[in-house]
Chain A
Amino acid sequence: MPDPNAIETIRAAVDTITPATADFPGALALGADRHVIDMLELGLPGITDMFAALLDAYAGEVRAGASFVALTPDERSAVLRAMSTDESQDIRDAVDALIVFGNGASFSEWSGYDRATGDLRAPTTWSYVGFHGPVHGHPDYRENA
C-alpha cells in the first residue's frame, strides 16, 4: 500500500496533467488518480512511493525545500517539464506513466465500467470529446460525419 503522502503527490500530478475546466470535470473527479496508482502497483509494487519521491526531488529544483504538492500549478508543470527532458529514460518514463494511466482512466470507459458485472455508464468525457462509445456498427459511416 503506497504511503498516504505519496498518494497525495500522485493526485497532484494527475490534476496537473488533466485538470478540471469550465466544461470538463477533471481527472480527479473521475478517480483517475486511483487508476494510476493501481496500474503502477500492479506493474511494479512499491513504485508509487518512488514516483512520489521523484516528483518531490524535482520540486526542490523548482522551489527550494518545497514538496510537489506545495507547488503552484505552473511550478508543478515546470517539474513535469524538467522530468520529461531528463537524460534518464526511467525519469522520462515516469511522466509517460502518469499521462498514459491518468488519461487512460479519464478518456476510456474506466470511470463508468464495472468489470465484474459488465455494467457501463458512459463517462462524461465521451460526450465532451464526441466519442460514440461501444456500438455494433455505423450504418451511416459517411453520412453521419
Chain B
Amino acid sequence: MSRDVIIIGAGGGGPVVAKELAERGVDVLMLEAGPWLDPDKDFTRLEDDMGSIVDGQLRWGPADRTKGPWVRRRDGVGLILQAAGVGGTTLHYNGICPRAYPQSINGAWPLGYDELLPYYEQVEEFLPVTMVEDLATKDALFAAGCEAVGLKRSESRDCSDAVWRPCHNAILPIARMKPGVALRYPEVEGCTMCGHCLQGCPHPVAAPLEKKAKRATNVSYVPAAIATGRCEIVPNAFATTILFEQTSNGRGARARGVRWRDTATGETLEEEATVVVLAGGSIESPRLWLNSGLPKGHDTVGRYLSMHLQDFVTGFFDREVHPDVGQVTMARADFPGYGTIWSQGFGPQSFSIVMGGGTGFWDEPTNEPWDYAGRTWGADAVQKLSEYHRSLTIAISTDDEEIPSNRVTLADDWAPDENGAVPKVTYHPTPTSVERQTWLARKAAEILKGAGAREVHRTNIQPAFFTHIMSTMRMGNDPATSVVDSGGEAHEVAGLFVGDTSILPNGLGGPNPTLTAQAIATRTAEQIAARYLA
C-alpha cells in the first residue's frame, strides 16, 4: 500500500501537518510511538501516575508501564521531560503560546518574522490562543513583583521589549463558575482553573474533545485531521527506519516509505509514501535519520541543539499563594537578549524536586539576590516543603546559544534497544548562555523580593533540565549549517520533511517553542502540497 504522506510522530507538530494536508485532500498515515489516551478515562490528574519519568502515563516509553522507559545516553543533560503518546509533549505542556522574539528570527532564519505572522495567526485562531482574562493569585503576585521592579504591562502578542504580560495560552477562556453549579460540561464551558495542566487536561468533565480546556494536539489538531476522513493514526508504532533510495540527480536520495515496530507485539510493518515527515521530536528525529543510514554529507544532522537552559527561582511569602490553583502559567515577562520568565504553578511533587535538586546547598549563604541555591534535605527541607502553599516559583527560559557541539548522536558504545541504536544527547552551555541564565535568575529573585518574598531559593539546575528541545534538524539555506531548506525539506533527501521543534533554526530568544513550531509546520504542509501533491 502506498500513501501520499506518512508522518512520524503525533506530538506538537505532526498533527498540524496532518490536519493541513488532509484538509487539502491528501491521504495521511500518522505513526505515534506511544499510546492514544482518552482524557476522560485516563487522565487522573495525579502527579506521579501521569508525570513519573519512569512509569507515568505521560513518560517517554511504551504503553505497557510494567516495562521500563526508553533510554537515552546523557552527557551534560539532566532530566528530559518528553511524553510519548498521541498529543506528545503537548499533553503535559503549560499551554503557553508566545511568539518568538522578532530579533531572534530576522537575519538568523531563512525567512523573516513578517513572513511567519500569517502562520502564527492561523494557528492562534485554530487552537485558539487567547490572552488570559484574569490572573490566579500566584500570577497576580508575579505581576505585582514585575511592576515593583519597573516592568510595564503589555497585551501585545509581539514580544520586542522588556515587559510583563498576561499570557497568551492555548487554553480556553476561564469558565463562568457559579456557586452550586456542577463543574462539568455543559454546566460549565472553558478552563475551570483546576491547576492540572501538567497532568493532561481532562476538564471540563464530560466535555467533547473540542471543548476540553487545554488545546493540546490530542484535542485540537488530531480530531480535526481525523474529521477529514483522510487521516489514519496508528499508536504504539515506533518508526525504526526511513526507507529511501539513492538518486543520481536532485538531492542525492529520495525517501520512499517508513518501517516501524508495533511496541506491543514486536511486529515489524512498513508502507511506501510519496512524502515522509519527521516529527518525532528533537531527539528522535535525528536518531531515526542516523539509524536509517540516510546521507550525512555535511554532518549537520543532530547538531545545534538548543534547550533554553532552564532554571527555577522560588519565593516564600507570609501569605497564601496556592501554586496549585489556576492555569499553571498565566503571566510572563520577556527580556529580549536574555530570555523569558514566567510564574510556574505545579503540585507538591514537582515542588519537592525543584527544592531538592540543583547545585549548591541550603545552608550555604550567597552574595546573590537569592538566599540560598541548590539542594535541600533533612529536617530543614521538610520544613521548607511545608511552605508549599505560600510559595511562588518562577521558571527561567534562557536565550541559549546554539553551537554545533551540542548535539544528538548515536550511543555507539551502548547496547541498542528494541528500536535501534539509542540516542546520545550532549549539551554543555556556552559561557554566554550561562551569563544570560544568571541574569534572568537575578531578575526573577528581584521580582519575588519586589512581590514581598521573605526568602528566595534558586534551584540552579545542573546539568541541564530538558523540556524545550530544539534545532537538531534546523532549517536554513546553507547545507553546511542546516538539515532542511526553507520549505522544511531535507537538503540531501527529496521527499523528506521535518515537522517538529527540531526544525527551528535557534531557540527563538527564549519563548516557549510550540506555537512557533506549529506555525512552521503549517507552512511546511503548504510546501509539501505545492512541491509533491499539487
**B183 & A128 in contact (Cβ 8 Å cutoff):** no
Report which of A93, A131, A135, A141 forms a contact with B389, defined as CB distance below 8 A: A131
* Alpha-carbon gap, A130 to B324, bound state (A): 10
- Tell me if A64 counts as interface (CB < 8 A to partner B): no
Q: B46 at the A/B interface (Cβ < 8 Å)? A: yes
Assembled-state Cα–Cα distance A18/B382 (Å): 6
B386 and A108 contact, CB distance less than 8 A: no
Q: Are A109 and B49 in contact (CB under 8 A)?
A: yes
Q: Cβ of B195: which chain A residues have Cβ within 8 Å of it?
A: 132, 135, 138
The yes or no answer to A1 lying at the interface (CB within 8 A) is: no
In the bound assembly, the distance between CA atoms of A24 and B205 in angstroms comes to 34
Q: B352 to A104, Cβ gap below 8 A?
A: yes
Residue on B with the closest CB to A17? B377
Checking A19, A73, A80, A139 against B177 with a beta-carbon cut-off of 8 angstroms, the contacting residue is A139
Q: Judge if B243 is at the interface, Cβ distance under 8 Å.
A: no
In the assembled complex, B186 has its CB within 8 A of some CB on chain A: no
B48 within 8 A of A: yes
Q: Check: B47 CB closer than 8 A to any chain A CB.
A: yes
Q: Mark A101-145, 1 if CB is under 8 A from B, else 0.
A: 101111111100101001010000110111110111111011011
Question: Contact: A137 with B192, CB < 8 Å?
Answer: yes
**A residues less than 8 Å from B75 (CB atoms):** 89
* Chain B positions 406 through 420: 1 when the CB is less than 8 Å from some CB of chain A, otherwise 0: 000000000000000
Residues of A within 8 A of B386 (CB): 23-24, 128-130
Q: Which of A2-45 contact B (CB under 8 A)?
A: 16-19, 21, 23-24, 39, 42-44
**Contacts A142-B136, A145-B137; A135 near B194 (Cβ below 8 A):** yes
Asked if A84 is an interface residue, CB under 8 A from chain B, the answer is yes
Is A17 a contact partner of B348 (Cβ separation < 8 A)?
no
Cβ contact within 8 Å between B183 and A139? yes
B463 interface hit (Cβ, 8 Å): yes
Is B193 interfacial (CB-CB < 8 Å)? yes
Which stretch, B114-122, B278-286, B353-361, B508-516, touches the partner chain A? B353-361
Contact of A100 among B179, B351, B357 (CB under 8 A): B357
Interface contact B356-A99, CB-CB below 8 Å: yes
- Contacting A at CB under 8 A, from B114-149, are 134-138, 140
Q: Are B136 and A145 in contact (CB under 8 A)?
A: yes
SS of B interface (majority):
loop
- The answer to whether B357 touches A80, judged by C-beta atoms less than 8 angstroms apart, is no
Residue pair A108, B357 in contact (C-beta under 8 Å): no
- C-beta contact mask, B55-85 vs A, less than 8 Å → 1, else 0? 1000000000000110100111011000000
Give the number of residues in A that approach B within 8 Å (Cβ atoms).
52
If A18-B382, A99-B377 touch, does A104 touch B349 (CB 8 Å cutoff)?
A: yes
A134-B46, A145-B136 in contact; A139/B179 too (CB < 8 A)? yes
A128 to B351: give the CA distance in the assembly, Å. Answer: 14
Q: Is A77 an interface residue (CB 8 A)?
A: yes
Q: Does B196 sit within 8 A of A, measured CB to CB?
A: yes
Q: Are A138 and B377 interface neighbours, CB within 8 A?
A: no
Q: Does A113 lie within 8 Å of B377, measured CB to CB?
A: no
Given known pairs A42-B54, A104-B48, A136-B192, the reply for A99 and B375 (CB within 8 Å) is: yes
Contact of A138 among B320, B326, B351 (CB under 8 A): B326
Within 8 Å by CB of B68, from A42, A106, A128, lies: A42
A113–B179 CA distance with the chains assembled, in angstroms: 30
B421 CB to nearest A CB, Å: 18
Assembled-state Cα–Cα distance A135/B196 (Å): 8
Q: A125-B348, A129-B386 are in contact. Are A43 and B48 (CB under 8 A)?
A: no
Whether A96 is near chain B, meaning CB under 8 Å from some CB there, is yes
- For residue B52, which residue of chain A has the nearest CB? A104
A63 at the interface (CB under 8 A from B): no
In the complex, what residue of chain A is closest to B181 when comparing beta carbons?
A: A139
Contact of B137 among A73, A96, A141 (CB under 8 A): A141
Some 20 contacts from A to B, beta carbons below 8 A apart, are A16-B378, A17-B381, A18-B382, A19-B378, A39-B55, A73-B378, A84-B361, A89-B463, A96-B357, A99-B357, A103-B353, A104-B349, A107-B385, A108-B349, A129-B385, A134-B45, A138-B136, A138-B192, A138-B326, A144-B325
A-B pairs, top 4 by smallest CB distance, nearest first, are A130-B389, A137-B192, A145-B137, A139-B177
**Given A99-B375, A115-B49: 5 more A-B contacts, CB < 8 Å:** A18-B382, A104-B48, A137-B177, A138-B193, A138-B195
Interface of B with A (CB < 8 Å)?
A: 44-49, 52-55, 68-69, 71, 74-76, 78-79, 134-138, 140, 175, 177-179, 183-184, 188, 192-196, 203-205, 320-322, 324-326, 347-349, 351-353, 356-357, 361, 375, 377-379, 381-383, 385-390, 463
Which residues of A are in contact with B by a Cβ distance under 8 Å?
A: 16-19, 21, 23-24, 39, 42-44, 73, 77, 80-81, 84, 89, 93, 95-96, 99-101, 103-110, 113, 115, 118, 120, 125-126, 128-132, 134-139, 141-142, 144-145
